[in-house]
Structure 1
Amino acid sequence: MQTLSRWENTPTFFPQFRAALLEHVGSSATVVVIGASDGRLVLPLAAAGHRVIAIERDPVALQGGLVQLPDGTEAHAAGLVERLQQEQLDDRVDIVESDFLDADLPLAARYDAVWTSCSWHYSANHHRPLADFVTRMQDLVRIDGLFGAEFMMPVTARHYLSEHYTSPERLGPYFTDGWNIQLTLRTGQFTELPHIGQPHPHVHRMGALLATRTSSVTTERA
């Protein structure tokens, strides 16, 4: 992409999701991206020929605006709308400005794939159980479709007290009847450099889970 995302250097398992998308769904899938942010992972999907439904509620992420850099200065950050226009991809992406759990998406026409990147652990999402996010995502996936999520795993004592910092093992019970887990991944602890919203170096662990839906059986809420 010519227009860089503010999250351009953040580690991700997104390449593994894209490989699974091609293997299990195909090159012209409709993908729902939850927590689309400024489009770091939306634009590559649209550029590859996919139709994308991008769900995001942060107005700065969508429309752009001033953000505070780690050194305390301010700068303009391009939003999803601007970046799509600059890359001439806006005709391939439908933006839903809403909280994901309240978004008005027709379940009757389930989608080829869903993806989210490290959205559960944000404190703004802790007012709803993790089960709400996982099962809502599952509900959007058609039979033979793909579920993909990467997430922060616990590092500190505070993280271990929050279900929103999870692991592939803790997510596994959501993917029993009607699902096949295709891949689980995890990192060791690593130090991420300062970025917008976090002015100091900080330690993370990340995990990912990819699963395909095999039937319409409703998974028991774990």
Structure 2
Amino acid sequence: MQTQSIWEHTLTFFPQFLATLREHATPDSTVTVIGASDGKFVLPLASAGYRVIAIERDPIALHGGEVHLPGDRTGHSMGLIERLELEGLNNRVQVVEEDFLVSEPLGTPCDAVWTSCSWHYSANHHRPLGEFVNHMQRLVRPGGLFGAEFMMPIGQRHHMLEHYTSPERLRRYFIGDWDVLLTLRTNEFTERAHVGQLQDHTHRMGLLLAARASTPS
């Protein structure tokens, strides 16, 4: 790719999702990315031949703008829309500039949903975690794939918030028509400072991949 996401160097389980997607979907399937940001996951999916619906409400992530960088610096961040144009991927991506919890941006369910660390931001703590998961599940067609990576609790403050969850706790939302395919978790690790977290910081991360049954149980 000619362009690079400002989140390029943050740890992700996305390769595991992509490998599972290849097993469960056809090359021209539609994948919805919730919290698309500047396209860290959108562009690789589109480049791989998938049709992508990118849902994002942050105007800087979509249209670009000035951001605070580590080292008390500022810089210009290229937005998703500009990156798609420069990479020639516009025709494969539908950008939806909305809060997916407030409206129903899709007419019909898609083949797969992917989200990365979208529900643990403090601005989302007034909404129950189950509401996020339920809305995301509703976007997946029967036989489709759901993938989410998320921050796990470390300190006492995080343990008091359900939004810093674990694969085990998330499983309770995936009963009935869902089959959990894979869960992963990291030990504590230190990540380098980046946009939105301007100091080096300690994380734990989890992954849950689940398939929706082709017919209701």
TM range (shorter): over 0.9
Alignment match, 1:97: 97
Residues of 2 paired with 1:216 and 1:176: CA distance?
Answer: 14
Q: CA deviation at 1:105?
A: 2.5
Partner of 1:169: 168
CA contact (8 A) 2:96 2:105 kept: no
Q: What is the identity, as a one-letter code, of the residue corresponding to 2:178?
A: W
For the residue of structure 2 that corresponds to 1:10, the secondary structure is coil
Unaligned runs of 5+ in 1: none
The corresponding residue for 2:193 is 194
Name 1:43's counterpart in structure 2.
43
Distance between the aligned counterparts of 1:56 and 1:199, measured in 2?
22
1:127-138 mapped onto 2 (5 Å cutoff): 127-138=126-137
Equivalence for 1:117: 116
What TM-score do the two structures reach when normalised by structure 2? 0.97
> How far 1:26 sits from its partner (Å)?
2.2
Structure 2 contact 34–114 (Cα < 8 Å) conserved: yes
Q: Kindly report structure 1 stretches of 4+ aligned residues shifted beyond 6 Å.
A: none
**Pairing 1:76-95 to 2, within 5 Å after superposition:** 76-95=76-95
How many Å apart are 1:217 and its aligned residue?
4.4
Q: Which residue number in structure 2 is paired with residue 211 of structure 1?
A: 210
Partners of 1:35 and 1:206 lie apart in 2 by: 17
Counterpart code for 1:185: L
Aligned-residue identity in percent? 62
The verdict on how the C-alpha distance between 1:216 and 1:138 changes in structure 2, with shifts beyond 3 A counting, is farther
Contact conserved, 1:25 with 1:144, CA < 8 A, in 2? no
CA contact (8 A) 1:31 1:112 kept: yes
Distance 1:29 1:56 in 2: 20
Counterpart contact for 1:179–1:215, Cα < 8 Å: no
The aligned length equals 217
Alignment-mate amino acid for residue 119 of structure 2: W
The Cα RMSD (Å) is 1.2
Per mean C-alpha deviation after superposition, the further-off stretch among 58-67 and 195-204 is: 195-204
Report how far residue 110 of structure 1 moved: 1.2
Q: Which residue of 2 aligns with 1:21?
A: 21
Q: Which amino acid aligns with 1:89?
A: L
Deviation at 1:215, TM superposition (A): 4.7
Secondary structure of 2:32's counterpart equals: strand
For residues 174 and 14 of structure 2, the distance between their equivalents in structure 1, rounded to whole angstroms, comes to 20
Shift of 1:216: 5.7
Supply the distance in 2 between the matched residues of 1:217 and 1:170 (Cα, whole angstroms).
23
Query: Which amino acid in structure 1 is aligned with residue 201 of structure 2?
Result: H
**TM-score, normalising length from structure 1?**
0.95
- For residue 75 of structure 2, give the secondary structure of its aligned residue in structure 1: strand
Deviation at 1:104?
A: 2.8
| 8 Å Cα contact 1:70/1:197 also seen in 2 | no
Deviation at 1:103, TM superposition (A): 3.3
1:75 match:
75
Contact 2:98 2:105 (8 Å CA) reproduced: no
